[in-house]
Amino acid sequence: MAQLFPQWTNRLPLILLVGTILLGAGVYGFFAYYGSPWYTDVGYRPVQPVEFSHKVHAGDMRVDCRYCHNFVEVSHEANIPPTQTCMNCHVMIKADSEKMIPVNESWNNDTPIQWIRVHKLPDYAYFDHSVHLASGIGCVSCHGNIATMEVVAQNQPLSMSWCLDCHRNPDPYLRPVSEITNMTWVAPENHSEFVAQFKKDKNIAPPEDCSACHQ
């Protein structure tokens, strides 16, 4: 009696099994990457209402971050500077520049500039800038080298796993508090010795439990 199915069909279950595994791995990999903050959030660069260059101000002119974000060491948030901060300089410097038109309008009409927030955390997550800065975490660790950015873009995913990685091993990111806004600071050769003493003096032990960020 002739065979109903050809001989190669004996390998069909194995082919289906391997195909299913490869398909599943492909689907998982697709969503793991394209659905992760590394793809969806990193690089977010909204067009702001004022053509403000951090490269010029923080980079070329070396304006300290805390001049504009002056609450950052005492508040949980890095405040957006009011128009008054801009006018402290620009009432005399390039006051007639075309780029200053929306700033002058804000100043003359006593209306705030509608800056677009770049770095966002969900409402159920709590982050305190002052605590991190007092613990020696520099601005560059989370925001990247702002002093090289014409337009600020999100540099890190700000995801829970990314935060936990730092809390579990903060040593590479710790620096003297005096250097927190220094975008070009490089850890010295004796950094491990500094970290050991710094953690002891500051009693640094980042929490890893849920209540630390989900209060």
pLDDT tens digits, one per residue of 114-158: 999 999 999 999 999 999 999 999 999 999 999 999 999 999 999
Asked if residue 134 is part of any domain, the answer here is yes
Tell me the C-alpha distance between 12 and 147, whole Å. Answer: 59
Tell me the C-alpha distance between 49 and 32, whole Å. Answer: 34
Asked if residue 102 is part of any domain, the answer here is no
Q: What's the whole-number mean pLDDT along residues 5-24? A: 84
Domain that holds residue 129: 54-80+115-208
Contact (Cβ atoms closer than 8 angstroms) between residue 213 and residue 126: yes
Determine the residue type at 85.
Answer: T
Asked if residue 122 is part of any domain, the answer here is yes
> Does the pLDDT at position 1 exceed 60?
no
C-alpha radius of gyration, the chain, whole number = 25
Asked if residue 198 is part of any domain, the answer here is yes
> Does the pLDDT at position 19 exceed 90?
no
Asked if residue 145 is part of any domain, the answer here is yes
Sequence-ordered list of residues with C-beta below 8 angstroms from that of 66, at least 6 positions apart, any chain: 72, 73, 181
